[in-house]
Structure 1
Amino acid sequence: MPVSPRRATLATVAASAGVSVATVSKVLNGRSDVAPATRSLVQSLLQRHDYVAPSPRRAKAMTLSTVEVQFDVDLNAYSTEIIQGAVEAGAEVGVGVVVSIRRDSDRTAAWARDLMAAGRKALIAVTSELTSGQLSAVSRAHLPLVVIDPLNLPRARMTSVGSTNFAGGLAATQHLLSLGHRRIAYIGGPATAACNQARLHGYRAAMEAEGVPVLPDYVQTGHFRYTYGVAAAATLLDLPEAPTAIFAGSDETALGVMEAARGRGLRIPEDLSIVGFDDTQLAPRASPPLTTVRQPLREMGKVALRTALRLAATEKIDSHHVELATELIVRGSTAPAAPDA
């Protein structure tokens, strides 16, 4: 039986099942006076039609429209900045923000329908890797979606918000080169992540422009997390020819690099210069304060929420991908390379 692309109603499901609307309503409400075979047929058709039950009582009780900001990893300083921006933008227009963590394995076929049933006007997914099936589920549920720093770029058109990651990677590496460093390594996030690839390309472009070779061992990719920064830096600093400078793909990773360096008795920045990325609250509080590429995380949260609301209102948007400018912030974790480096 063909499934209508429109949002299904009780009448749609009833017609497909060959029963009355009242029978479908009984199944939805868990009534016992429905034959088992009929109940099974109606339930399967409700799922096939992606039926989302209206919640008039809940709608009347709600004082705010809500947008869900969803992460697939534990929250950190980066997440906090994104959330702050989204909450501020929501408060400006009377929209509430609900924050959740939903692992990839939790994004089942009913995931998007459940969000719509909960009354969400839109979904903002942060640093998530969404499959084509998950994107289709969102589309079928008519749930507007905006992704911040997507970890993959699926073929389906997807609205996203990010920053000028390539320019940021370029500026970070040029800064280290200007200080006389030539043995510069890069520690980034997931190899397939679009933001990581852009930062890595910026790093490579700066090195190539100066005619400085990039040694294969000098590029490490894994996760934008503290523990990975410790592990990857340990690998780099144990090389026979260790780097004199490391560009880390996030502030959290950079703090891990600092820890690995201190564990080997290295001084920062005298023995090792470090540059991070994000400029979260961690950066100025590090010891020494971290030189980093400022990513406008709060503004990214604001832009994502405003864009999501425009999609929910079926307004036309100017671009399906927005990049906000990055800026190099020089602090105490970088210094000129030693004369013999």
Structure 2
Amino acid sequence: MQNSRKRATLATVAASAGVSVATVSKVLNGRSDVAPITRELVQSLLVEQGYVTRPSRRPPAMVELQVSGELCAYSTEIIKGTLEAGGESGVPVVVTNVKGAPPAGDAWARGLAAAGRRAMILLTDEPSPRQVAALTRAGLPVVVINPLNPPPTPVTSIGATNFAGGMSATQHLLALGHRRIACLGGPADAASNQARMHGYRAAMEAAGVPVLPGYVRTAGFCYPDGLRASAGLLDVEPLPTAVFAASEEIALALMWVARERGLRVPEDLSVVGFDDTEIAAMTSPPLTTVRQPLREMGVVALRTALRLAAGETIESRHIELATELVVRGSSLAA
């Protein structure tokens, strides 16, 4: 009589053992970083369920992290987290850097799948719809890290609590006694920037402190954008005593422009940024900032990509990780 029992898979064995697919894979590959009791359980279930390792000429499974634009401290932190998670899961991570228009098309996407890619992680401001469509047709799930705007389904995105971050930065300045608090934002049409600026306005409104004319400006998240926006802000009368900058590069640009004009940070102007890369602690004075969990974003993106590649159901298409205010020397009592 024909055996009607379904063929055992990594997913079914993992579900029976109550562990991840990555853990079952580690046991099969003889990895040492699995607890002995877990290894024994998984091995017994592999035998019990009749799991058969089929010989294959396919290349080893791997995940690609595609980084758009110039590499910087921000992207480096995310790359580190992704590589660490790949090492822990026993999955190679290929990092590519794309400048200009990203590659797309069905032939390109099928080539990635044939070369062993099982999922694609995109670190980009705006994922290309054409690229995402080609990857989806090739059977490669896509995860986007910290896009400016939520991508369309079926793309999963990893971000941060931008509203809460903007609010905590502004509340910190209010608690220091500042009332003339300005906000230098990123791109006006970016949902992430809007959330940070809404957090700023919410904190000001809750404290009953008015936002003075000319105190809210938008530009971009990068250093040159910050230079231009800072120059205009510091021409406003009365001069702000504190500024929430919606990115670390904007904050650093503001500090440079302020010094050029003879203003001392933080004695004359308190500054709070947003990101908290390793550069924040190296500035003079060290930058008070809202910490985005950049390395953790890379970790979660890799783990999420592996779950999608294994056919698992993801609870949410957008995952937000908590931000945290890190107080250093660039903010001072009014």
Tell me if TM exceeds 0.5. yes
| CA–CA separation in structure 1 for the residues paired with 2:124 and 2:179 | 32
Residue 78 of structure 1 is matched in structure 2 by: 74
Note if contact 2:151-2:157 (Cα within 8 Å) is conserved in structure 1: no
Distance change in 2, residues 1:136/1:248 (3 Å) = same
Residue 300 of structure 1 is matched in structure 2 by: 297
Residue 253 of structure 2 is matched in structure 1 by: 256
- Structure 1 position 285, deviation (Å): 0.9
Distance change in 2, residues 1:114/1:102 (3 Å) = farther
Q: Which runs of 5+ in 2 are unaligned?
A: 1-55
Q: Which runs of 5+ in 1 are unaligned?
A: 1-55
**SS at structure 2 position matched to 1:105:** coil
Q: Larger deviation: 326-335 or 244-253?
A: 244-253
| CA–CA separation in structure 2 for the residues paired with 1:117 and 1:188 | 43
- Structure 1 position 207, deviation (Å): 0.9
**Which amino acid is 2:241 matched to?**
T
Deviations 1:117-174 (A, max 9, x none): 4322111112331244333222212111111111223443421111111111100000
Q: Please, what TM-score do these two structures have when normalized by structure 1? A: 0.76
| CA–CA separation in structure 2 for the residues paired with 1:146 and 1:184 | 36
| CA–CA separation in structure 2 for the residues paired with 1:134 and 1:192 | 22
| CA–CA separation in structure 2 for the residues paired with 1:269 and 1:176 | 12
**SS at structure 2 position matched to 1:317:** coil
| CA–CA separation in structure 2 for the residues paired with 1:215 and 1:140 | 51
**Which amino acid is 2:219 matched to?**
G
Residue 185 of structure 2 is aligned with which of 184, 188, 194? 188
* TM alignment of 1:125-144, pairs within 5 A: 125-144=122-141
Q: Larger deviation: 123-132 or 271-280?
A: 123-132
- Structure 1 position 188, deviation (Å): 2.2
Q: Larger deviation: 93-102 or 195-204?
A: 93-102
**SS at structure 2 position matched to 1:217:** coil
Distance change in 2, residues 1:184/1:119 (3 Å) = same
Moved over 6 A (4+): none
**Which amino acid is 2:249 matched to?**
E
Q: Please, what TM-score do these two structures have when normalized by structure 2? A: 0.78
Distance change in 2, residues 1:222/1:123 (3 Å) = farther
Residue 216 of structure 2 is matched in structure 1 by: 219
Distance change in 2, residues 1:289/1:237 (3 Å) = same
Q: Larger deviation: 210-219 or 183-192?
A: 210-219
Distance change in 2, residues 1:95/1:291 (3 Å) = same
Percent of aligned positions with the same letter in both sequences? 63
Residue 236 of structure 1 is aligned with which of 217, 221, 233? 233
Residue 324 of structure 1 is aligned with which of 306, 309, 321? 321
| CA–CA separation in structure 2 for the residues paired with 1:214 and 1:74 | 35
